[in-house]
Amino acid sequence: MPKPPRKSKPAKQKTTRPPKKRIWNHLHLIALLVAMSFFLTLFIGVLLFAFISLDIPDVNSLAAYKPPVSTVILDDHGDPIDTIYTQNRTVIGLDEMPDLLPRAFIAAEDARFYNHKGLDGWSILRALIHNIIKGERSQGGSTITQQVARSLLLTPEKTYSRKIKEAILAYRIDKVLRKNEILHIYLNQIYLGAGAYGVEAAAQTFFGKHVKELNLAEIALLAGLPQAPSRYSPFNNLKLTKKRQAYVLNRMAEDGYISATAAQKAFKQILLWGPKSQADPKAFAYFIQHVRNYVEQKYGAQLLTSGGLTIHTTMNQALQKAADRAANRGIKAWQKRHKSITEPATPEAALIALDTQSGQVKAVTGGTDFSKTQFNRAIQARRQPGSAFKPLIYAAALLQGFTPASLIVDEPIALRGNFPGKTWKPRNFSNKFYGPTTLRDGIVYSRNIVTIKVLQQIGISRAIQLARHFGITSPLTEDLSLALGSSGISLLELTSAYSIFANKGLFGVPIFITKIIDRHGNIIEENTPERVQVLDSRTAYQITRLLEGVIREGTGKKASGLGIPAAGKTGTTDRNMDAWFIGYTAKLAAGVWMGFDQQVSLGKRETGGIAAAPVWLDFMLAAKKRIPAGDFTIPEGIVLKSMDLMTGVLDSDESDKISVEAFKEENLPLHVGVENEKAIPTNGGNGLE
């Protein structure tokens, strides 16, 4: 049987085929849409993941912007002497900045700052194209808001998760804060190189002026720094700095903030570099250290280093420099006197000066080299003052009815010592005894036996009580060696005590800080002079009159030559280990100490009159130019009488050894005679001049 025929296929109809290019475009568009949908979905998914799983910081904290702020220490004229910080920053308001400064940063960093919502895709695209064409990274894609988020709320690592957080935070910040609030934070927060954070610190670091004083050329330079602070720093590469400055000026002109002519003029302007002129804190290190320690102990280290405090101190820069200079010259003079000794060790010197009326401390030299040792010998050290303590003994005696004319026999004495069967035989520095001696000569010539006998008669407890009223808190030995300055006290304590004589018997705690102001302008501490009458003015003047004689003719003659009325007293301890001189004028008291930290001898003849008094005079001669001159006021109830120095007889015509001394009008000596003497056992101790 034949096979059936195959069905024939129907003939195909002819159709018009589209061009291959059009098909390809359609496929490309479809693929692009699919890809965009995929990436959009992925992006949304990532954002959702970020919101759910990433630890996004709270942006509300930015509303109370409180970054670490520098603490500044000022002298008594309000000039800065030191700045303390973890970040060198001074926060200021937009109203304290030149109008062009925020605009310059906007032009350089974020031209559409006032138009976007924290993120700016167009700026990112523009920066990308510009950098590809130019072959360099001169423009950044991050907005100012993103930079704020990165600086304050994020860690510095460069990861995708951080970039996502940054974008989210920038959007949130723009919702929470106004544009000017964001700009305020940015201009105070941004790091601009050379250790400066924010525009105020940068202005002072680079130009030595406040930001409000900047001109256009300087503003444009600062605005170019955030991109790469070290790379564009004028301290590192001036050529790159100028190139970046030109970019900022051109951007400001393009955005209509300035004219092209102004941009060209600013670019050609000569810039003067250098930090704001201020004192070298190393020169005032001991004073500053004392202030810092006080604030840190009372308010904490964080507030000191990051709290933005303004600390007004009592330090006078001119007097502080004079004190440092005098102390160092005193050491050089000592070295010259001992140049025959092969490689002698060098002693230390300390000096402290304070205003006698206010108690404000004007200078502190705690040693000759702070970099070698930070131990403050003017405040922290407690050394035996020797005869420099004697004025307190004589003040107590005058309160008990003694007068400058009182006679005390200077003679060998033997007193019970520290151990059974041991005796103490004190002596004068000269190893001589002078017989009947006026109280006046006892202090002027620093007679040890006379002082011990005076202390015997008034009682040790009275002398210690007066010392406590004078602000001396150090432990004091309760025996007759107290008369020779056997108890260690600080230079600050003794100098402050002497100021009582100058200030008519008034005492106040020494002041180093007058005022501390917080970052918001609130006064958190204020110290004003509060003087307490601890000695009657007449006794204070009597001691001053006696101590004038010490400088004029006694152990302190090396301190004479100041040219204005001055009073003071020397002090030297056993084996010349400590040399002291404490002196004052009507307005300024200063104390000097010289010695070795190891408590070894300064050398033969190195007494307070030789080693310390010239240092005091050196300082006071410089200080005299800056303090008002004046005589010591004679209080009512004091009469001045000429006195025979040998007999104590008043208004005597029979002696050529006459001195005019101060007497209380109700206590004029009526007759001559040796004061009643009674030896009181003591527990020992030695003393020299």
Which residues are catalytically annotated? 109, 387
Three-state SS sequence of 452-497: HHHHHHHCHHHHHHHHHHCCCCCCCCCCHHHHHCCCCECHHHHHHH
Task: Kindly state the tokens that stand for 112.
Answer: 């559409």
Q: Is the distance from CB of 483 to CB of 454 less than 8 angstroms? A: yes
As a whole number of angstroms, the distance between CA 520 and CA 470 comes to: 38
Tracing tokens 């670019």 back to the chain, one arrives at 267
DSSP 623-646: HTTTS---PPPPPTTEEEEEEETT
As a whole number of angstroms, the distance between CA 472 and CA 391 comes to: 14
Residue 329's Cα: distance from chain center in Å? 24
CB atoms within 10 A of CB 602: 24
Query: Residue 10 class from Cβ within 10 Å (0-12 exposed, 13-18 middle, 19+ buried)?
Result: exposed
Q: Is the distance from CB of 604 to CB of 297 less than 8 angstroms? A: no
CA angle 130, 134, 139 (to 5 degrees): 45
Angstrom CA distances, 489 to 185, 289, 499, 519, 650, stand at: 51, 20, 16, 38, 37
* 162 phi and psi angles, rounded to 5 deg: -70, -40
As a whole number of angstroms, the distance between CA 588 and CA 620 comes to: 9
User: Looking at the DSSP assignment, which residues form a beta bridge with residue 664?
Assistant: 638
Consecutive H or E run containing 349: strand 348-355
As a whole number of angstroms, the distance between CA 275 and CA 301 comes to: 26
Amino acid at site 310: T
Task: State whether the Cα torsion 236-240-243-247 is positive or negative.
Answer: negative
CA angle 492, 494, 499 (to 5 degrees): 95
Amino acid at site 365: T
Q: Is the distance from CB of 73 to CB of 293 less than 8 angstroms? A: no
What does the radius of gyration of the chain's CA atoms come to, in whole angstroms? 40
Q: Is the distance from CB of 300 to CB of 344 less than 8 angstroms? A: no
What SS3 class is residue 88? strand
The DSSP call for residue 566 is: -
User: Looking at the DSSP assignment, which residues form a beta bridge with residue 588?
Assistant: 355
Nearest to 443 by CA among 536, 356, 544: 544
